Structure 1
Amino acid sequence: MTWLPESLRNLRRDVFFLVLLGVAILFAVAMPARIASWPSLVDWPTIAALAGLLILTKAVEQSGALAHAGRWLIDHTPTRRLAALGLVGATALLSMLLTNDVSLFVMVPLTLSMCRIARIPAMRLVIFEALAVNAGSMLTPIGNPQNLFLWQQWGIGFGGFVWQMLPVVAIAMALLLALTAVAFPGTPLEVHEHVDSGLDRAMLIVGAVLYIPFLFLADAHHAAWGLLGLFVAFALFRRKVLAAIDWGLLLTFVLMFIDLRMLAGLGIIRQWLGALDLHQPLHLFATGALASQVVSNVPAAILLAEYSHDWRTLAWAVNVGGFGFILGSLANLIALRLLGEKRAWGAFHAWSVPFFVVMAAIGALLL
């Protein structure tokens, strides 16, 4: 098994993946005749787009550019409040372009390092960065997996998607930045040590040059061709980028499509969801936001997409559903896992649940 990429070997300890695998096995035993149709249940354009983004973001991460920028930020901010606003804002901005989970993998280790250098409370700042990626990633179709799925599923233009998401994102970001300003003091920031950060300019340039063409191809529903181009380019230029990709995440999404679309086809599920009258925007919004609290927002998006074509309301619902309980978004789990403090779970909910309640109320009013 040592020849497998590390991300695939780690699946043996990934509870979420094992649950999905167990559900797939149950469906295979209960409905063996349906196994042949499983590949058709997977939204392959979404998988191709996600794989391409993972390659590009891994290249940017390994170039050292983001770590370089973060260290510059710490060196040029005079107070803890401004440092927190800068890191939270940068995390939200990155999540719009590099997806929410990748932004956390870059920003949280950087933040922990910077907090040790500048003596900023790390736990609260990482919690706010988790809120930031959920808020920022709402804006673009490449910001998070649920948006990527909805974008590919309904063929929405990139600009049109951003325009429809802008009102709820603007409110979420304004609320988050105001909360950050209140939560962190304006005391002077003292940097006690300096850390040099290397920068692989060649990798950064290649990643930046390939990023825009890939987005255009994905927007034109040719993500598979874009993925092929990226794979060839990095196989020739920096093979280590391909080796570092989280292939296990892609396999998890394949299983998610199979399980949830099989589940959506069951008579009892159709009857239950049909009784919720999901053609009503407020009903769809409430169902999506609350379902996200239980099964996470990506599965909620995939499941409810089988019952409604109102993509904007569904997008608002599952994105707002990323706040609240930790299961609302996988990004929440990633942030606290990287932080590594058990007491952070209670602190996270103390900030995130009220934020969810307020955003859910605002979203319902906007609808």
Structure 2
Amino acid sequence: MTKAIRWIRKNTVLCIALLAAAATSFFVPPDRVYLSYFDFKTLTCLFCVLAVVCALRNIRFFYALAEKIVRRFKTARMCVLALVYITFAGSMLIANDMALLTFLPLGYLVLSCSGTEKYMAFTFIMQNIAANLGGMLTPFGNPQNLYLYSKFNIPTGEFTMIMLLPFAVSVLLITVCCLFVRAEPISIPDSRTVLSPGRTVLYLLLFALSIVIVFRFIPYYIGLIVIPVVLLVADRKALKAVDYPLLLTFAAFFVFAGNMSRIPAVRELFAYLLSKDTLLFSVLSCQLISNVPSAVLLSQFTSNYQELLVGVNIGGVGTLISSLASLITFREYCKHYPGQTRRYLALFSLFNFGFLAALTGLMLVFL
């Protein structure tokens, strides 16, 4: 019983997705059309990226890379900036949730060992915002981008141009916030992470293959064959570590969104609301059901992918549930500071709603 409760707590969003899919199946009984709900290309691309990232994490590749970057900086301000920028850049390459799982522990290690724990909550929150907003520039930077990029067949150049303005503003806002950290001198423990050259090269080649698949240069089924086979030989633990609940969550929301789109009253309501303001409605939707479900659901009712894409990305900041990745940061902080939950949530809300207001206001004017 205890294990079941722990599993439900750990996979709350998956449980909600399964319940939502089950509930809508009463209105739309299962039939052959259900098979058309699933975007197998998106699921395959997501699996490939997650699997290779897990392999790279297992050899501590990202940790070693971050170590070298952070070690170059000698003040608290520059150290916080480095940690946040690493997370920002990481989210563009390995997705927001993986970036947080990789770099939050590094942030804790660096700040706790350098005597600057007073900046821990701020740094975690900035890393969280950086992960959620940094991934917006690339199709594989977060799950909702990968889904929309695939569903609407958005040209890569157009995708980048759509997201360039909110991305640039996000970089500016994050930088300005981090500059308020005092430039106190710090020293970081002298420890080195040694990488295996052979495995590093192999996994980087697999990562390159994953990216090529995402950009549609080769068929996605090739990655589904090559990557699991190689990892079965090289690192089975990486395949076990893949976030399968995330993949199942996507599958459940595909069913939920597909069923919702077949209910006439729902279809008319959503089509009406999205026709009024796709950007604003998608941002608000993220605050209630998070950005990934919003992307899957709302994509059934609009062809305005430009505003939908921007909305589900900037909508990733705001409430604690606006992005599933934010829960990762919250859990990590509470693990180290269980008595400071209220303080963290207050600071989290202050910065997140500030970013949300600034970005939404800007994009309503310029998009």
Matching residue's letter, 1:70: A
Q: Name 2:252's counterpart in structure 1.
A: 255
Determine the C-alpha separation between the residues in 2 that align with 1:353 and 1:45. 34
> Does the CA contact (< 8 Å) of 2:257 and 2:300 recur in 1?
no
Correspondence list, 1:4-83, <5 A: 10=7, 13-32=10-29, 34-83=30-79
- In structure 2, relative to structure 1, the CA distance for the partners of 1:135 and 1:335 (3 Å cut) is same
Q: Name 2:183's counterpart in structure 1.
A: 186
Determine the C-alpha separation between the residues in 2 that align with 1:260 and 1:119. 48
Match of 1:246 among 243, 248, 263: 243
Deviation (angstroms), 1:131: 0.5
3-state DSSP of counterpart to 2:62: helix
Determine the C-alpha separation between the residues in 2 that align with 1:215 and 1:331. 21
Answering whether residue 96 of structure 2 is matched by residue 100 of structure 1, we say yes
Residue ranges of structure 1 left out of the alignment (5+ in a row): 1-5
Match of 2:135 among 137, 154, 164: 137
> Does the CA contact (< 8 Å) of 1:96 and 1:137 recur in 2?
yes
The count of corresponding residues between Structure 1 and Structure 2 is 354
Answering whether residue 155 of structure 2 is matched by residue 161 of structure 1, we say no
Matching residue's letter, 1:102: M
Answering whether residue 262 of structure 2 is matched by residue 265 of structure 1, we say yes
Determine the C-alpha separation between the residues in 1 that align with 2:190 and 2:35. 51
3-state DSSP of counterpart to 1:306: coil
Q: Name 2:352's counterpart in structure 1.
A: 352
Determine the C-alpha separation between the residues in 2 that align with 1:206 and 1:305. 37
Q: Name 1:171's counterpart in structure 2.
A: 169
Q: Name 1:321's counterpart in structure 2.
A: 315
Match of 1:310 among 290, 299, 304: 304
Deviation (angstroms), 1:333: 1.1
Matching residue's letter, 1:27: T
Answering whether residue 292 of structure 2 is matched by residue 298 of structure 1, we say yes
Per-residue CA deviation, residues 205-224 of structure 1 (Å, 9 max, x unaligned), is: 11211222332233227222
Matching residue's letter, 1:153: K
Matching residue's letter, 2:173: L
> Does the CA contact (< 8 Å) of 1:28 and 1:35 recur in 2?
no
Matching residue's letter, 1:95: S
Correspondence list, 1:156-235, <5 A: 156-182=154-180, 184-191=181-188, 193-220=189-216, 222-235=219-232
Matching residue's letter, 2:57: E
Answer with 110-119 or 216-225: which moved more.
216-225
> Does the CA contact (< 8 Å) of 2:290 and 2:316 recur in 1?
yes
Query: Considering only aligned residues, what root-mean-square deviation do their CA atoms show, in Å?
Result: 1.9
Per-residue CA deviation, residues 188-210 of structure 1 (Å, 9 max, x unaligned), is: 1133x333424233222112112
Deviation (angstroms), 1:291: 0.8
Per-residue CA deviation, residues 222-271 of structure 1 (Å, 9 max, x unaligned), is: 22222221111111222221122121211111111111221232222122
Answering whether residue 130 of structure 2 is matched by residue 123 of structure 1, we say no
- In structure 2, relative to structure 1, the CA distance for the partners of 1:158 and 1:11 (3 Å cut) is farther
Q: Name 1:3's counterpart in structure 2.
A: none
Determine the C-alpha separation between the residues in 2 that align with 1:137 and 1:332. 14
Deviation (angstroms), 1:55: 1.0
Answer with 23-32 or 136-145: which moved more.
23-32
Determine the C-alpha separation between the residues in 2 that align with 1:62 and 1:187. 33
Per-residue CA deviation, residues 71-103 of structure 1 (Å, 9 max, x unaligned), is: 233332111110111111111001001000000
> Does the CA contact (< 8 Å) of 1:49 and 1:224 recur in 2?
no
Matching residue's letter, 2:309: A
- In structure 2, relative to structure 1, the CA distance for the partners of 1:151 and 1:142 (3 Å cut) is same
Identity value in percent: 26
